[in-house]
Chains A and B, each alone.
Chain A
């Protein structure tokens, strides 16, 4: 009974929280409505076999009232609140009796009428408790989702028709409904709805991925079901009726899957995804309108086709609606042994108890049991997280960044260094250490694993492979690697594009692969790792590699390349980044959309990252992206030029050195070159590019900073190297929008502004054929 006691405790805790919420609820307002709804949903997750059926039914009792409230005015009415309070007291009594091993107390008279439809014998009637419930004006929601009750009762009523499946048949074939947002009145609520929905959609997607791995993972089915249910509640609350109805239909249809009557199959998964896609589309539209794009425009909810798909999927697996679900029950035992292994460890115990105690118990009970139990700890864990506005987090990180700079100013100031005061020195050291720790902590708040981003790609690869009839396996590595949330968000599009590219152009069809002596299934590997204080993302495939000849021909054909120019292998590969160049011979809906790898590179460089290509004909291609760990604070090299100081992002720097006298040679019509690790690098004098005076006339009077931009390596000549700094990049505003040489400003330790060089622009700036003799007499503007 240990497991049951755990559950009783969990239920008691939820009830305690419910009491708190109910204390806030007031008739005629929506205060506490959503929290109450959520807590009730938790209660409905109680494993059917773990508690007596009567108690489970009691816990699920208010569902109808809340649904009626959500579907109706969206506000508590007096009667509902009173009923909720009476119910709460009674359920607490039931719980105490249960733990004391006593019989449950009689339901108070206010509740008894409603209890009837929810108790096991009456379960066959999927009718909602609506007739008794207040708000008679509200049309009864067709199939009442009394989720916890149905699976519990199923074995006892083997001849009962599958309720949700029946509902599916009965449901009208809705076409495309529309909804209109109440803006600006509901602006805040809609904003919350939008972010909440995004989260729900993510959890649906993740659950679907789990389902694909193990179709019996009841936990995943439950998660999807819950997500649809929450969608319904929130949409109803905001009177987005079309969306609510759609989510409601999805939820009802999935009920049969949840209860184990229909097995999870490919068509079922596809239909769930299709449903989620419609919700995602609506969510996106809500987000746009909240953001001020076409507010008030009706939003179409194209539910009809999707629901038809869902019904077809369910029918494909399910027995005809009128037939007893015996077949489905018979199918269930096959899956049952798998379920405990597939679910979390925590659930194993719970499964064992009912299964061993009642070996004769019909399978569905055992199959249904592990899921809610697993969901409960997950819920508890989720409670330890705080959701907060991302901009607050950004502000904090920025402030901490300021603190780091200010702290460095104090620590490095001459006076502090020269001070003989030991106490001061001690305090300063302590300040430095605490600041460093604070910085580390603040940064870690914004760090998220790339796994979430990677898993989105799983879906993409699946869809792409299916639509192109290719066999593709996606291998993920280093999913736990953490990087700045902002970067994760911004890397989504480039990754999607690169993966599309790989599937579309890189990987061959199964026949072609077999003909080439390869595994018919192509592999795309997506990996992440920390390196050199930054992060390296890599997308590689074992396809045919980039076709350099075709790239070149295409570039010439599109007049992007002079046919007389000879390119080395690397430069030829880089042609793929030319704007307006696409190597797909046939326009597909996937890659041939005009945006190309040039957009990808631009995007990555805007994040101060770099992308590098490798390709082996016949064996595959790889794109390696190097990114800073965070956008907030970067390591920079402070260099001097004339009287000015500039910052070069450390990620773009390979090395610095002072050239030997004579180490820089002037090659005819090529400008200055310097030997670096056995290679001749073109020298760029920073002063020339910026048109600013430099002190170093001879190269050996200055310092060479070896910088790289993409695959291009250059020797940048500056006057002096002033050290390494952690700096915060400040936007300089649109006055300098046309200024490409400078990526931003940073406040230096002495309070002046230092300019951060955009290495990519500096490297690409035209180089003078002959260095100008002296620049010292230049007048500063």
Chain B
């Protein structure tokens, strides 16, 4: 279900995946870090890439492309991890999670007039994942509802390992 409300104006961090442009309210973003070696965690859904060392804390990282069902690419040196505070009321690192994106572009101030509710068709991105749409002179941004996207990740359950699945475990995940 999409709530057809218009997102509140304010600052948005914008980034891209391939040729698609996205924005998230800046207050949900803790920081942006360079792509660094990721330790893969076994038996996780394919979009959960693993964990990184964020200044001494272990931070889970997921791949936004995989989450949106987009083709995987080799990230170049523009690749970034956007760190979100999943739940603002939780202490420190506890709720943080990182999202891998192709590159971070800008911080934009979007006024009321530049914002619109999410259209009913949402391309490859599920409608629940959208807050709305932001428009500038040269671009249209899909504004992401990170809470919905991340909520789904917080409760990912392991695919149960049956002996059969384990025996067939040589196929890549």
- Is B124 an interface residue when CB atoms closer than 8 A count as contact? no
A contact residues around B73 at 8 Å (CB): none
Give the contacts of A732-781 with B (CB-CB under 8 A). Answer: 732-742, 744-745, 747, 751-755, 765-770, 772, 775, 777-781
* A748, chain B: closest CB distance, angstroms: 9
Q: Does A644 contact B (CB under 8 A)?
A: yes
Partner of A753, one of B53, B97, B173: B53
- Of A733, A742, A754, which one neighbours B95 at CB under 8 angstroms? A733
**Nearest Cβ distance between residue B162 and chain A, in whole angstroms?**
7
In the assembled complex, B96 has its CB within 8 A of some CB on chain A = yes
Q: Which residue of B lies closest to A750 (CB)?
A: B37
**A731 interface residue, CB < 8 Å from B?**
yes
Using known A-B contacts A735-B156, A772-B170, determine if residue A755 contacts B41 with beta carbons closer than 8 Å.
Answer: yes
How distant is the Cα of A734 from the Cα of B51 in the complex, in angstroms? 12
Given contacts A402-B56, A691-B42, A745-B58, contact A772 B172 (CB under 8 A): no
Interface size on A, residues (CB 8 A): 41
Chain B: interface size category: 35 or more
Q: Does B107 contact A (CB under 8 A)?
A: no
Interface contacts (Cβ under 8 Å), in number, total 107
The complex places the Cα of A740 from the Cα of B60 at a distance, in Å, of 16
B158 contacts A738, CB within 8 Å?
Answer: yes
Q: Given A730-B57, A733-B95, is A766 in contact with B161 using a C-beta cutoff of 8 Å?
A: yes
Contact of A775 among B39, B42, B158, B170 (CB under 8 A): B170
B52 at the interface (CB under 8 A from A): yes
- Decide if A692 is an interface residue (CB 8 Å cutoff): yes
Q: Is B46 an interface residue (CB 8 A)?
A: yes
| Chain B residue contacts of A725, Cβ below 8 A | none
For the complex, give the distance between the alpha carbons of A779 and B169 in Å.
Answer: 11
Q: Which residues of B contact A79 (CB under 8 A)?
A: none
Residue of A nearest to B52 (CB): A753
Closest to B93 in A: A733
- Name the A residues within 8 Å of B57 (CB-CB): 730
B56 in contact with A740 (CB, 8 Å):
no
| Interface residue B43 (Cβ < 8 Å from any Cβ of A) | yes
Say yes or no for A688: interface residue by CB 8 A criterion.
yes
A752 and B163 contact, CB distance less than 8 A: no
B173 touches A735 (CB 8 A): no
Are A731 and B58 in touch, CB under 8 angstroms? yes
Query: Are A644 and B39 in contact (CB-based, < 8 A)?
Result: yes
- Closest CB of chain A to B99's CB: distance in Å? 12
Which residues of chain B in 29-71 are interfacial with respect to chain A, using CB atoms and an 8 Å cutoff?
37, 39-44, 46, 48, 50-53, 56-60, 62
Contact present for A691 and B39 (CB under 8 Å): no
The winner among A739, A744, A769 for most chain B CB atoms within 10 A is A739
Chain A CB within 8 A of B167 CB: yes
Q: Does B154 contact A (CB under 8 A)?
A: yes
Q: Which of B73-114 contact A (CB under 8 A)?
A: 93-97
Rounded to whole angstroms, the CA-CA distance of A747 and B155 in the bound complex is 25
Q: Are A692 and B172 in contact (CB under 8 A)?
A: no
- Say if the beta carbon of B1 comes within 8 Å of chain A: no
Contacts of A775 in B (CB 8 A): 170
A733, B170: Cβ atoms closer than 8 Å: no
Q: Tell me if B128 counts as interface (CB < 8 A to partner A).
A: no
A690 within 8 A of B: yes
| Distance to closest chain B CB from A746 (angstroms) | 8
State whether B51 touches A753 (Cβ < 8 A): yes
Distance between A167 CB and nearest chain B CB, rounded to angstroms: 50
B163's closest neighbor in chain A, by CB?
A766
Contact assessment for B41 and A742 in the assembled complex, using a CB-CB cutoff below 8 Å = yes
Q: Which residue of A lies closest to B94 (CB)?
A: A733
Distance (Å) between the CB of A133 and the closest chain B CB?
Answer: 48
- Cross-interface CB contact of A781 among B39, B46, B154, B170, cutoff 8 Å: B46
Q: Please, which residue of chain A has its CB at the minimum distance from the CB of B87?
A: A734
Q: Are A733 and B173 in contact (CB under 8 A)?
A: no
**Known contacts A730-B57, A736-B60, A751-B53; A741 and B163 CB within 8 A of each other:** no
Q: Specify which chain A residues have a CB less than 8 angstroms from the CB of B162 in the assembled complex.
A: 766
Task: Determine whether the beta carbon of A738 is less than 8 Å from that of B156.
Answer: yes
The answer to whether B52 and A735 touch across the interface, beta carbons within 8 angstroms, is: no
B172 engages A781 (CB within 8 Å)? yes
A735 x B60 contact (CB < 8 A): yes
Is the CB–CB distance between B169 and A742 below 8 Å? no
| Inter-chain contacts of A765 with B (CB < 8 A) | 161, 166
B42 nearest in chain A by CB position: A690
In Å, the complex CA distance between A506 and B173 comes to: 50
Interface assignment of B153: CB less than 8 Å from any CB of chain A: yes
Q: What residue in chain A is nearest B153 (Cβ atoms)?
A: A735
Question: Does the CB pair A778–B172 fall under 8 Å?
Answer: yes
Q: Which residues of B contact A752 (CB under 8 A)?
A: 37, 39, 53
When A745-B51, A752-B53, A753-B52 are in contact, do A732 and B60 touch as well, CB less than 8 Å? yes
Is residue B137 within 8 Å, beta carbon to beta carbon, of the partner chain?
no
Q: Bound complex: CA of A689 vs CA of B94, how far in Å?
A: 28
* A255 smallest CB distance to B (angstroms): 47
B42:A780 contact, CB within 8 angstroms:
no
A742 x B154 contact (CB < 8 A): no
CB distance from B146 to the nearest CB of A (A): 14
Q: Are B97 and A735 in contact (CB under 8 A)?
A: yes
Bound-state Cα–Cα, A18 to B168, Å = 77
Question: Can you give 11 contacting A-B residue pairs, CB < 8 Å?
Answer: A644-B40, A690-B42, A691-B170, A733-B93, A734-B154, A735-B97, A744-B58, A745-B39, A766-B166, A769-B163, A772-B167
- Given A690-B43, A739-B41, A747-B53, 13 other A-B contacts at CB below 8 A? A402-B56, A690-B42, A691-B173, A733-B58, A733-B93, A736-B44, A737-B154, A745-B39, A745-B51, A755-B39, A755-B51, A772-B167, A780-B172
Query: What is A's interface to B at a CB cutoff of 8 Å?
Result: 402, 644, 688-692, 730-742, 744-745, 747, 751-755, 765-770, 772, 775, 777-781
